[in-house]
Amino acid sequence: MAKVRILLAALLALGVGATGIVLAAPAQAAAVTATFSKVQDWGSGYEAKMTITNGTGSTVNGWTVAFDLPAGSGVGSYWDALLTSSGNRHTFRNREYNGTLAAGASTTFGWIGRGSGVPAGCTVNGAPCGGGPAPTTPPPTSVPPTSAPPTSAPPTTPPPTGGTPVATNGQLRVCGTKLCNQRGTPVQLRGMSTHGIQWFPNCYSSAAFDALATDWRADVVRISMYVQEGGYETNPRLFTDRVHSYIEQVSARGMYVIVDWHMLDPGDPNYNLSRARTFFTEIAQRHAGKPNIIYEVANEPSGVSWSSIKSYAEQIIPVIRAQDPDGVVLVGTRAWSSLGVSEGSNENEVANNQVNATNIMYTFHFYAASHGQNYLDTLSRAADRIPMFVTEFGTQTSSGDGTNDFNRAQQYLNLMATKQISWVNWNFSDDSRTGAVFTTGTCPNGPYAGTSRLKPAGTWIRDRIRNR
């Protein structure tokens, strides 16, 4: 029997190896393994993915992956795990939703690597990441006990000091569940949405955009072009040219711009698929060279399944990518972009069946006086699993009118600050409703700076954009 054991050990040893940038050897029997790979590499850093696989015959309840990075390299943002670091040693633990792995099951987590160094000395649950017995001596830096509190996510990039948002952050991209700048650092954009540009064009003058850039200190402006309701459908040339003009004005002031395909009624985005192809082809062709363009391809789908919305997104995103391969794309979610909550669902339908595309985020809309704890909790859970961007919210009811609920709205803003979710408020106009920031008659002459012409909601939101 001793000879049999020796021979078996020798055969297993011959199977241990790795190629390229994959750390783990072919999985040995009855082992939990962790495999490292690079999703993207831009020289000064990379997006990393670690895949944990339960090769044992029983369920694993919890995992811990630890490794060293060489001097000069480190971990930036991360997702789907909790991180503690000590010197060059980095330890990732499962989140509450991905710690249990049935026999044969896998899960992943990721991070942004700073520098070019890749993990070494990798262990999973104390054993080598490639499988095999646990070492007889502890690693150079022992793994902190499970009771030790994890470090928080890296702080959001601070507001520009002497530079515009675009000059400071450059071309944005999605890294894991975060929106990141050109250096791979998470950013949280804050800004305002126009109202329908068919109704309030005199609110979007040079003076108005100046105020947004310098007095409000906005990072981003959302241009809401309704498709129906007297919008694009009635005169595609007029409204496309109007959007071009607003893009140029916002870009000249160094802010990001969301091009909002504001489909509302009917709620099925596929109804406008042909129009969307025409519109986004032209927008992306003309503005692909700009680093500040964000495409929102379906404002508020309603009365339609998530699979239909997903199908629409997977048809329109390639149209944009053919012209602009780098721009972030925002995809609306079911039930007026509530992740399905307003029609009795939740974030699982999106998280478990994501759009087959990269560099995308999913949108969430809320109105504080209408959308309470269930909506807030849904956004919180979703942001831990998928990239989220709140492209529309108000402090009043879902009609954009009525009493402001600033307390509930602040709860949302606190959550979004903690989870680095970018947001845009509805709306920058002088509409009569309480959700419009200006008193009736402010446009077209202003003033747009200061607080003299602001309603209570306008004063509240301006303060929260200005003061980080």
Residues carrying an active site annotation: 300, 392
Q: 3-class SS at 105?
A: coil
Q: 3-class SS at 94?
A: coil
Report the run of H or E that residue 247 belongs to, with start and end.
Answer: helix 236-252
| Dihedral (Cα; 51, 57, 62, 64), 10-degree rounding | -50
The answer to whether the CB of 454 falls within 8 A of the CB of 215 is no
Quick count: other Cβ atoms within 10 Å of Cβ 322?
Answer: 13
Q: Helix 236-252 crosses helix 273-287 at what angle (to 10 degrees)?
A: 40
Residue owning tokens 């329109």: 316
The answer to whether the CB of 253 falls within 8 A of the CB of 209 is yes
The answer to whether the CB of 22 falls within 8 A of the CB of 36 is yes
How many angstroms separate the CA atoms of 169 and 157, rounded? 9
Output the six-digit token pair for 161: 């000091």
Residue owning tokens 């919305």: 309
